[in-house]
Amino acid sequence: MTTTAPKTARTAGTAGTAGDRTRGRSILLTSSLAIVLAAVAIPFYWLMIASTHSSDDIFDSPPPLLPGGHLGDNLSALQESAGFGRVILNSLLIATLYTVCAAAVCTLAGYAFAKYRFKGREALFGLLMLGLVIPSQVTLVPLFKMMAQLQWLDTYQAVIMPNLALPFGIFLMRQSMAALPDELLDSGRMDGCGELRLFWKVVLPPMKPGLAALAIFLFLYQWNDFVWPLIVLRDGASFTIPVALASLQGIDNTDYGAILAGTSIAAIPMAIVFLALQRHFVSGLLAGAVKE
């Protein structure tokens, strides 16, 4: 309704003042929100700038506000001090493996909770949702002891396994699956589909947006996770990016140029993935999350 107002104002001179007022308010709103957005974006901008400067330059007065020529040096410093190539590979492999496995676990469970009636359904779902309210710190110590007993320290599975049945992922999938019409499933069954084939051939294809949202969420979660990897990864060669960055910050003469270059490596690919898939992500996440 209001969107068309400026257009009418341009074509029909009589509506001029009302259209001008609408346009004025539109400009006011857009520009004030742009200022807020700039405040949000400054840390990102500064991060990228700082990645291209040496540690000394970053703390200069005035601080550098334009790109410098130090990016290559920072990256090779990262490779030298932390074996960052290996670290990036670890992060990529762990996040990918985790995403695939956790998506399978969460989707299957979410589907069962949404589309089947079975004895103990409410109790089992309630049990899983307990995981949302129990602070994760409760399990850190016993889990660490468990991983040590299994001799899993410094392995990928130590990072991946404990969080595969992610309560939020299961919740999200149950919510998205609930929107699937029962008639679709029934007609699949009429055609003689077994339950597993039904899931694969009938349920999954229309769930693609929800699955994309889940996958991005899981990948982000694992890529950024810090405390648990910090506890189970002891050897520098098994570090993920956040653990490696935190370990670099602790040492004397911290090389902030290198650390911030590493931080860019951690943050920028995620931003790009998110930008590319955001349509799926936001709609899929919200289709599930905001229901009565």
Q: Looking at residues 172 to 231 of the shown chain, list those that interact with another protein (rule: CB under 8 A).
A: 189, 192, 194-196, 199, 220, 223-227, 231
Within 10 angstroms of residue 33's Cβ, the number of other Cβ atoms is: 10
DSSP-assigned letters across all residues of 113-151: HHH---TTHHHHHHHHHHHHHS-THHHHHHHHHHHHHTT
CB of 231 to another protein, least distance (A): 8
**Which of 207, 214, 233, 245 is the binder for another protein (CB under 8 A)?**
245
**Which of 93, 100, 179, 271 is the binder for another protein (CB under 8 A)?**
271
Q: Is 18 in the site for another protein (CB under 8 A)?
A: no
Is the separation of the CB atoms in 214 and 107 below 8 Å? yes
**Which of 159, 258, 266, 280 is the binder for another protein (CB under 8 A)?**
266
Peptide bond into 135 cis (omega under 30): no
Contact pattern from residue 133 through residue 172 relative to another protein, giving x for each residue in contact according to CB under 8 A and a dash for the rest = xxxxxxxxxxx-xx--------------xxxxx-x--x--
Between residue 62 and residue 81, which ones bind another protein under the rule CB under 8 A?
Answer: 62-63
Binding segment for another protein among 57-65, 69-77, 78-86, 92-100 (CB under 8 A)?
Answer: 57-65
**Which of 71, 178, 204, 267 is the binder for another protein (CB under 8 A)?**
267
CB of 235 to another protein, least distance (A): 18
Torsion angle of alpha carbons 86, 92, 97, 98, nearest 10°?
Answer: 110
- In degrees and rounded to multiples of 5, residue 252 shows phi and psi of -65, 155
Note the Cα 174 to chain centre separation in Å: 19
Mapped onto helix, strand or coil, the DSSP state of residue 292 is coil
Between residue 21 and residue 40, which ones bind another protein under the rule CB under 8 A?
Answer: 22, 25-26, 29-30, 33, 36-37, 40
